[in-house]
Amino acid sequence: MKLFRYGPRGHEKPALMDAQGRARDLSAVISDITADTLTPAGLQALRALDTSALPEVAPTALGRIGTPWRHTGKFICIGLNYRDHAAETGSPVPQEPILFNKWCAATGPNDPIVLPQGSQKTDWEVELGIVVGSKARYVEPAEALQHVAGYCVVNDVSEREYQMERGGTWDKGKGCDTFGPVGPWLVTPDEVPDVHNLSLWLDVNGKRYQTGSTRTMIFGVAELIAYVSRFVTLQPGDLISTGTPPGVGLGRKPPVFLKPGDTLHLGIDGLGEQRQRVHAWDASLLD
């Protein structure tokens, strides 16, 4: 299944894409897509539906696409998880996964990216997201995939000065408002034949900067879930963003960073695409 939500911020409706690629409204079945929807029981109930009987939503009626599920839980990220990305940043290949958090609530896949006040070094990172569907605590890699509700596209927007030049943890450069576009869909594992063979790409102003594949991840999906579950209990609705391939702005010579008016277009095979426009600081775009 491909689950998504559409409509104005705070008033999204639940929906899915049927086998023919048509949007079907789920409002008569569930009030919203929440953590409960992502549990094995919740997903099984949706799989049992006759999707042809659900109201079709015309593409012109979809409007804004929100996050695929309401109230993303913990937003946990993995740093330097592609060897070639570590190399372009001049960093050693990590011996264990690097963990950091995004404090911000996730935003819709096409919502604005708003630069923090005074930001000069905001960067992009297309990433595969793992959506947790059941409680995971000290799980073994062999059992880890049983806890996956689905996968999604994430743009791990990053302010490099805040992340690397201001002391402390990476989190301060990763958790700014609007720095977590997610979606458009949550794609269940049955529609992702090989999560370790997905192409990722990202364009800025029509120019291709990132091209990669999940084949080159250092730590795979099952290993990451197992590892994270040793430090914090994962719950339905939590999101793990698994790192980015090479091609970030920081790695260019000279570096390239985002500025107001820039546009981003990014995607992952089978998981959909995102489009964002970069804005100068404007609090009205945050609410």
How are beta strands 148-155 and 2-6 bridged, if at all?
A: unpaired
Residue with tokens 């002391």: 167
Q: What is the CATH number of the domain that holds 255?
A: 3.90.850.10
Asked if residue 68 belongs to a domain, the reply is no
Nearest to 256 by CA among 212, 209, 211: 209
Residue 90 confidence (pLDDT) = 81
Range of the domain at 209: 75-285
* Residues 46, 47, 48, 51, CA torsion sign: positive
The whole-angstrom distance between residue 32's C-alpha and the CA centroid of its chain comes to 19
Residue 211 confidence (pLDDT) = 97
In a 3-state reduction of DSSP, which class is residue 234?
strand
Tokens of 68: 């695929």
| 280 lies in the same domain as 171 | yes
Asked if residue 45 belongs to a domain, the reply is yes
Q: How does pLDDT run along the chain (287 residues), one tens digit per residue? A: 999 999 999 999 999 999 999 999 999 999 999 999 999 999 999 999 999 999 999 999 999 999 999 999 999 999 999 988 888 878 888 899 999 999 877 999 999 999 999 999 999 999 999 999 999 999 999 999 999 999 999 999 999 999 989 988 889 999 999 999 999 999 999 999 999 999 999 999 999 999 999 999 999 999 999 999 999 999 999 999 999 999 999 999 999 999 999 999 999 999 999 999 999 999 999 97
The beta strands (E) that lie in 47-175 are given as 56-57, 75-79, 98-101, 113-114, 122-123, 126-132, 148-155, 158-159
| 17 lies in the same domain as 144 | no
Nearest to 2 by CA among 17, 15, 20: 17
| 55 lies in the same domain as 102 | no
| 53 lies in the same domain as 84 | no
Residue 177 confidence (pLDDT) = 96
Structural domain count, the chain:
2
DSSP β-bridge partners for residue 221: none
The reply to whether omega before 92 is within 30° of 0 (cis) is: no
